[in-house]
Structures are given as C-alpha cells and as structure tokens.
Structure 1
C-alpha cells in the first residue's frame, strides 16, 4: 500500500510512519518541520520504502503527484498546541483550513481517488458539559475559549470539507476526532501537559498546574491512536465515517500531576498558575473531555494496549535517559506573542 502522511515528522505522524513501514507499506512524508523534527524519522532514513520531503502543504509543488501516488493519505499537517494556536491565530486558519482544502482538491483532480484520513479534534465539541461526548452530538464554537476558538473553527471546517468532497466527488474520508494524545516524541514546548509534567517531575521542579486543576481530560497513547486510525481506515474502505479516537478513562489535571509525581518518585511540589498568567489572555478552560468510543469499538473491535501509567513510565524513562546522556530535551514553554511583548 502507498501511504502519504502530511505532518509525518510530528508526534502522531511519526508513529503512523512506524506502523506502516513495519507492515511493509511504502510511505511518503511531507512536513515543514515547524513543530515536527526529522529525528522522529531517523530510524527509517535508509529504508527504501521511505521518502521524505520538507515542504509547506500550502505551497508544495509536488502535492498533486504525491496524492495521485497514494492509496491512503493521513492528513495531520496543522498548527497545534495551545501556545501556537494563541500566538499564530491567522496561521491556524490558513494552514488548517487551506491546507486541507488544497489536499482534497488535489485528490479530486487526479484520476485516482485515495482514501483521506483527516485529523480532527475533540475541540469541535466546544464547551459541552455532557458526561461523555458522542459523534452524533452538535458541534459548537464558544467565545469562552478566547482566541483559541480559531482552532475549533479550523477543525470544524476541515470536517465539512472532508464530508463535502466525499459526497460531491466520491473521495472516501475518515474523520478522526482526536482526544488528548500522549506518548513518546511528544514535547511540552507548545503547552502539551503530560511531557511538561514529566520533565518537571524528573528534575524535581515545581509542577505547574494551570487553573484549579479540576478540569478533566482523557489521555490516549499515540501507539494506540495509530492502531485505531488504521483499523478505522480499513473498516471504512471506500465509505466515509466519523469517529472519536482516544481513551475513555477520565482524570483531572491535578490528579494527573499527582500521578506523575508518584510514578517518578519525585519531590516536585504542585504550583497553581492562573489561566491568565499561563496563556496571556482570559478564557474559560473546557471543563471535561471524555469520548464515547462505542462507534470505534463496534466498527473495529479496538482495545487499548497502553494504560496511562505505562505511558507515563515510558516517558519518565526516556526523559531520564536524555538527562544521563546530556541530551536535555526539556523545552521552555513558547508563550503567545501578546504575553512575550507585555
């Protein structure tokens, strides 16, 4: 099978590359390396089934050729991370919407219609206080999210584009609504909470919890995420579907901090930081994020392999190895331009 992965040098994308190369597929990655890193793909540099292009999805002049070559496309190229979303609101909309539309237009223009797997997000559910979020619920955008709302808008638009091209032009689309994905290769530089907590705990530094820490999230290991994505794509075949992808175990951010401290045997205290100070603007954080996985499980029979504890233990071991080898991967947070200029 021919696999094209946009954003394939990133956290989730590189795990998809691993999965398909291990299976014997041919994999072509395009990434502008704005957040992805070539090192994530280092293990495959000499693999004859692997190809890499450093390029911007908005301007890449070989997109049409790559799309016509592919049997399946994973579209992950996007501006992600709370700090980048807040710092670069116009780029969020341009890259996330225009990039997706350009990809789908290329798929329509070619003689072959590849399957397109579109990375959406739990953010499309907005400030929904339901105990569990299902695919048939209404999507919403709330100004309570501050300028972060642009990311939600971009992902809703990507879903609409995927469904429109599927209906009008017969391009099979799988829309995967990711809930918080964690695991090896994720960095805390742009606000991702688990690698940030792990890095702080390993160094016995204060763990910074934004707000009261009572907001809950559901964390899924990327190594499970990519298996679920592939299973959905296989199940969908030439049909179109929407499904939540994540883990339905719910944990508060404060409980997460305590769990990381416990697993690391850390002396880190917990330090609460007001949202305004953390993000540089006032907004109401989303209270909870727990997916219904009934559709994913009924379609694919998918079962998780990685518990949150196992993921955290793996990340702690990786972080400690970096320190021992003098490869300190700890990154300071990149804050919004408005805050840096203040």
Structure 2
C-alpha cells in the first residue's frame, strides 16, 4: 500500500509512518517542520520504502502527484498547540483550512480515490455540557474570549470540507476527532500538558497546573491512536464518517499532576497558575472532555493496549535518558575545553 502522511514528521504522523513501514508499505511524508522534527523520522530516512519532503502544504507543487500515488492519505498538517494558537490566530485559520481544502481538491483533481483520514479534534465540541461527548452532538463554540477558539473553528471547517468532498465527489473519508493524544516524541513546547508535567517532575521543578486543576481530560497513548486510525481507514465512507479517537478514562489535572509526581518519585511542589499568567491573556477552558467510543469500538472492535500509567512511565524514562545524555555531552565539552586551555 502507498501511504501519504501530511505533517508526518510530527508526533502522531511519525508513529503512523513507523506502523506502515513495519508492514512493508511505501510511505511518503511531507512536513514543513514548523512543529514537526526531522529527528522523529530520522530512523526511517535510510529505508527504501520511505520518502520525505520538507514542504509547505499551501504551495507544495507535488501535492496532486502525491495524491494520485497514494492508496491512503492521513492529513495531519496543521498549526497546533495552545501557545501557537494564541500567538498566531490568523495563521491557524488560514493554514489549517486552506491546507485541508488544497489537499481535498488535489485528491479530486487526481481522478483517484484513496482512503482519506482527516485529523480533527475534541476542541470542536467546544462548550458542550454533556458528560460524555458523542459524534452526533451539536458543536458549540464560544465567542466570549478573544482568539482562543480559532483552532476549533478551523477544525470544524476542515470537517465540513471533508464531508462535502466525500459526498459531492465520492472520496472515501473518515474524520477522526482526537482526544488528547500523548506518548513518545510529544513535546511540551506548545502547551501539551503531560510532557510538561513529566519534565518538571523529573527536574524537580514545580509542577504547574493551569487554572483550578479541577478540569478533566481523557488521554490516549499515540501507539493506540495510530492503530485505531489504521483500523478506521478501512471504513472510510463516501458519505463521510466522523469518529472519536481517544480513551474514555477521565482524570483531573490535579490528579494527573499527582500521578506524574508519584510515578517519577519526585519531590516537586504542585502549584496553580492563573490562565492569564500562563497564556498572557484571558483563557476559557473546557470543564470536561470525555469521549464516547461506542462508534470506534463498534466499527473496529478496538481495544486499548496502553494505560495512562504505562504512558507516563515511558515518558519519564525517556526524559531521564535525554537529560542524562545532555549532561554527559556537557561534561565532555567542558573536558575538551579544559584540555585545549591547558
């Protein structure tokens, strides 16, 4: 199978590439490396079945050719992360919507009908007050606080584009609404909470919980997420299929901070930071975010393999190894400098 992954040097995309390469599929990744990293796909660069293009989806001249080549397309390229969304509000809308439309147009113009998996987000549920979020519920986006909801709006637009192209042009499409995907290779640089908690705990720094910490989330390991996406792709529908992808175990941010601290054996203090201090502007958060997975399980029989504790343990181990490697490199540099000075 030929697999095209946009945003494939990112956190989720690189795990998808790894899954398909392990099967013997041919994988083509395109990424502008604005949030992705070449390190994420570095181990694959020498593989004959892997191709990488560093390119901007808005202007990449090879898009239509790549779409015609692919049997399956995962569209993950987007401006992501709370910090980037707040810092670049117009870019979020322009890039996320335009890149999705350009991809779908390229698929249509190619005359080929690959399976298309579009990455959406639980953010589209906005201010839905239901305890469990189902795909059939209305999407409610607030206009009360600045540009905080631009990401949600961009993903709602992407969903509408995907469903429209599916129904109008018969492109088999599935929209996957991610619920807080976490795991190896994720960076806390753009506001992702578990990598940030883990780094703070391992370093012995204060673990900073934004807001009251009573807000809850449901976290899914990326190694489960990509298995679910692969299974869903086979059910891509020309009417357009929308499916929640995540884990329905719910945990508060206060409990998450304590869990990370315990798993790391850390003495870090847990401190609360007001949203305005954390983000530099007023921020409207969601009280709960727990998915219904009935549709995902009904279609695919999907079962999770990774617990939250296992994910956190793996991230703690990786962070300690990274810090130890950095410390070793710093010591070697100091020794070399000392020898040259002598």
State TM-score, norm by structure 2: 0.94
DSSP-derived class of the 1:236 partner: coil
Match of 2:266 in 1: 266
DSSP-derived class of the 1:289 partner: coil
DSSP-derived class of the 1:73 partner: strand
State yes or no: 1:21 paired with 2:21: yes
Match of 1:12 in 2: 12
How big is the alpha-carbon RMSD for the aligned residues of Structure 1 and Structure 2? 1.2
Q: Is the 8 A contact 2:117 2:236 kept in 1?
A: no
Q: Deviations over 1:87-134 (max 9, x none)?
A: 001110111100000000000101211111000000110111211000
Q: Is the 8 A contact 1:144 1:283 kept in 2?
A: no
DSSP-derived class of the 1:143 partner: coil
Separation of aligned partners in 1, 2:269 and 2:193 = 16
DSSP-derived class of the 2:148 partner: helix
DSSP-derived class of the 1:235 partner: coil
Report the CA distance between 1:73 and its aligned residue.
0.3
Instruction: Specify which structure has the bigger relative contact order, considering alpha-carbon pairs within 8 angstroms and separated by 6 or more residues.
Output: 1
State yes or no: 1:178 paired with 2:181: no
Name the stretch that deviates more: 137-146 or 166-175.
137-146
Number of residue pairs aligned between Structure 1 and Structure 2: 328
DSSP-derived class of the 1:146 partner: coil
Q: Is the 8 A contact 1:78 1:96 kept in 2?
A: yes
Q: Is the 8 A contact 1:145 1:285 kept in 2?
A: no
Q: Deviations over 1:48-68 (max 9, x none)?
A: 000000000001011111011
DSSP-derived class of the 1:3 partner: strand
Separation of aligned partners in 1, 2:148 and 2:51 = 34
Report the CA distance between 1:12 and its aligned residue.
0.3
Report the CA distance between 1:239 and its aligned residue.
6.1
Q: Is the 8 A contact 2:181 2:246 kept in 1?
A: yes
Q: Deviations over 1:265-318 (max 9, x none)?
A: 000001110001111111221101000000000000000000000000000000
Report the CA distance between 1:213 and its aligned residue.
0.3
Match of 2:339 in 1: none
Q: Is the 8 A contact 1:27 1:49 kept in 2?
A: yes
Match of 1:257 in 2: 257
Match of 1:48 in 2: 48
Separation of aligned partners in 1, 2:260 and 2:144 = 30
Match of 1:235 in 2: 235
**Pair member with larger Rg:** 2
DSSP-derived class of the 1:147 partner: coil
Q: Is the 8 A contact 2:276 2:282 kept in 1?
A: yes
Separation of aligned partners in 2, 1:305 and 1:145 = 38
State yes or no: 1:97 paired with 2:91: no
Separation of aligned partners in 2, 1:290 and 1:55 = 35
Name the stretch that deviates more: 111-120 or 95-104.
111-120
Match of 1:65 in 2: 65
State TM-score, norm by structure 1: 0.94
Match of 1:201 in 2: 201
